[in-house]
């Protein structure tokens, strides 16, 4: 095969990845856990062609910016070296959700690119191999290879750092209501953020206690214990943002409306609702709740001043190959 199309979902981190032991290999300082998000897609087509002189990369129907293209080319180089191939590639990729808004578009992007490029290069890789390879493109992409609730184990080295499912998408019908709060301050991308994490005096404390939070999150997911889940998810989010806000230079991702949503969620919980929040490297607030209360809580969120719209995503499936007739290819 020289052409392949793949689809992957973004994910929301419940226990966060922030900071690497090895930036080149993307070996993280701590393990992380996420939920893969149904209904939000990246679709990517890769075609290797001996007649091409250069790799071409089209993202969301535009030629990729130089830095984005460079990152994709580096990833293609990894795939080519594994396949013993040298043909250049045409890469066309598109999302059906807003990019660069803390929705982890690099996770779905590199999961879909890894799967499509590996298939187009004729590599026969296991899901574990794909996760390890996706990690090299974007750490959080290692988790988007799998569906449902996923843990990326910290690992010792390239070989041992990959993600694996904790439970499938049908295990627990949680919903992520993503409150979009418009444009925050100009974001510093995650890759740069990871490199700054070590400058925070709080990072070592966060890392030293990460195993405890991973264990608590894993247990809460397996036991479908929402109260315990909410407690550890919010604690872990606050710890990551405390590290961000105390690194040098400091990174501040929250907008005023992000704080309004966080305060509203806490007041709804005090009044008895099962809901908690978490934020990645952006101002949008991911509010988690059981599916049976998602419509009501979605309406409440929509009414918080500063919230422009609310996206709704349940647990999604793994990254998968698409045939050329699949309706999702219309995105390209
Ligand atoms: C805050 O995976 O986007 O979303 O490896 O440089 O691509 P790169 O970083 P990325 O970092 C994700 C950071 C986060 C937390 C998380 O998803 O675990």
pLDDT for position 182: 72
Structural contact between residues 171 and 140, judged by C-beta atoms closer than 8 angstroms: no
Ligand 1 centroid–CA 191 distance in Å is 7
Angle at 34 between CA 80 and CA 57, to 5 degrees: 30
Pairing of strands 149-152, 163-167: antiparallel
Q: Ligand 1: which residue has its CA nearest to atom 14? A: 280
Record the tokens describing residue 125, joined without a space.
């890789």
Close Cβ partners of 281 (under 8 Å, ≥ 6 residues apart): 102, 187, 188, 189, 190, 193, 244, 251, 253
Does residue 20 have its Cβ closer than 6 Å to ligand 1? no
- C-beta of 193 in contact with ligand 1 (< 6 A): no
234: nearest Cα among 288, 269, 285, 278: 278
10-residue mean pLDDT profile of the chain (332 residues): values are 94 98 97 97 97 96 94 98 97 84 79 98 97 98 98 96 98 97 73 96 98 98 98 98 98 95 98 97 95 98 96 97 95 94
* 150 CB near ligand 1 (under 6 Å): no
Our answer on whether the CB atom of 161 is closer than 6 Å to any ligand 1 atom is: no
CA distances from 111 to 127, 166, 207, 239, 284 (A): 11, 18, 26, 27, 22
In degrees rounded to 5, what are phi and psi of residue 226? -65, -40
pLDDT for 104 equals 59
* Distance, CA of 332 to CA of 57 (rounded, Å): 12
| Distance of alpha carbon 4 from alpha carbon 18, whole angstroms | 32
Q: Which atom of ligand 1 is nearest to the CA of 141?
A: 2
In this predicted structure, what is the pLDDT of residue 331?
A: 93
Contacts of 232 (CB under 8 A, 6+ apart): 14, 15, 213, 216, 217, 220
Tokens representing 71 are 């990152």
Query: How far apart, in whole angstroms, are the C-alpha atoms of residue 32 and residue 29?
Result: 10
The verdict on whether omega for the bond into residue 249 sits within 30 degrees of 0, i.e. cis, is: yes
pLDDT at position 7 = 98
Q: State residue 188's pLDDT score.
A: 85
Whether the CB of 191 sits within 6 Å of ligand 1: yes
Residue 187: the pLDDT is 74
Q: Which atom of ligand 1 is nearest to the CA of 135?
A: 5
117/114 Cα distance (integer angstroms): 5
């Amino acid at each position: 095969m020289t052409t392949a199309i793949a689809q992957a979902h973004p994910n929301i981190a419940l226990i966060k990845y922030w900071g690497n032991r090895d930036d080149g290999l993307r070996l993280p300082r701590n393990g992380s856990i996420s939920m893969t998000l149904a209904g939000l897609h990246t679709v990517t087509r890769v075609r290797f062609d001996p007649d091409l002189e250069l790799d071409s990369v089209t993202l969301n129907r535009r030629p990729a910016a130089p830095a984005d293209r460079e990152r994709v080319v580096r990833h293609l180089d990894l795939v080519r070296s594994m396949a013993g191939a040298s043909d250049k590639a045409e890469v066309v990729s598109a999302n059906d959700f807003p990019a660069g808004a803390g929705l982890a578009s690099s996770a779905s992007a590199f999961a879909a690119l890894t799967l499509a490029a590996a298939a187009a290069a004729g590599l026969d890789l296991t899901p574990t191999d794909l996760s390890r390879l996706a990690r090299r493109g974007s750490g959080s992409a290692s988790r988007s290879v799998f569906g449902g609730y996923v843990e990326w184990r910290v690992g010792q080295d390239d070989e041992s750092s990959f993600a694996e499912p904790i439970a499938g998408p049908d295990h627990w019908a949680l919903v992520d209501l993503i409150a979009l709060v418009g444009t925050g301050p100009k974001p510093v991308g995650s890759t740069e953020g990871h490199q700054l994490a070590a400058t925070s005096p709080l990072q070592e404390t966060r890392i030293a206690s990460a195993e405890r939070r991973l264990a608590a999150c894993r247990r809460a997911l397996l036991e479908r214990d929402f109260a315990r889940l909410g407690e550890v998810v919010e604690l872990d989010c606050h710890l990551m943002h405390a590290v961000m806000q105390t690194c040098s230079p400091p990174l501040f991702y929250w907008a005023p409306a992000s704080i309004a949503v966080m305060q509203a969620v806490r007041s709804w919980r005090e009044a008895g609702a099962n809901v908690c929040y978490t934020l990645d490297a952006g101002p949008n607030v991911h509010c988690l709740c059981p599916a049976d209360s998602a419509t009501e809580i979605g309406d409440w969120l929509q009414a918080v001043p500063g919230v422009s719209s609310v996206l709704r995503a349940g647990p999604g499936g793994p990254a998968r190959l698409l045939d050329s007739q699949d309706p999702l290819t219309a995105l390209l």
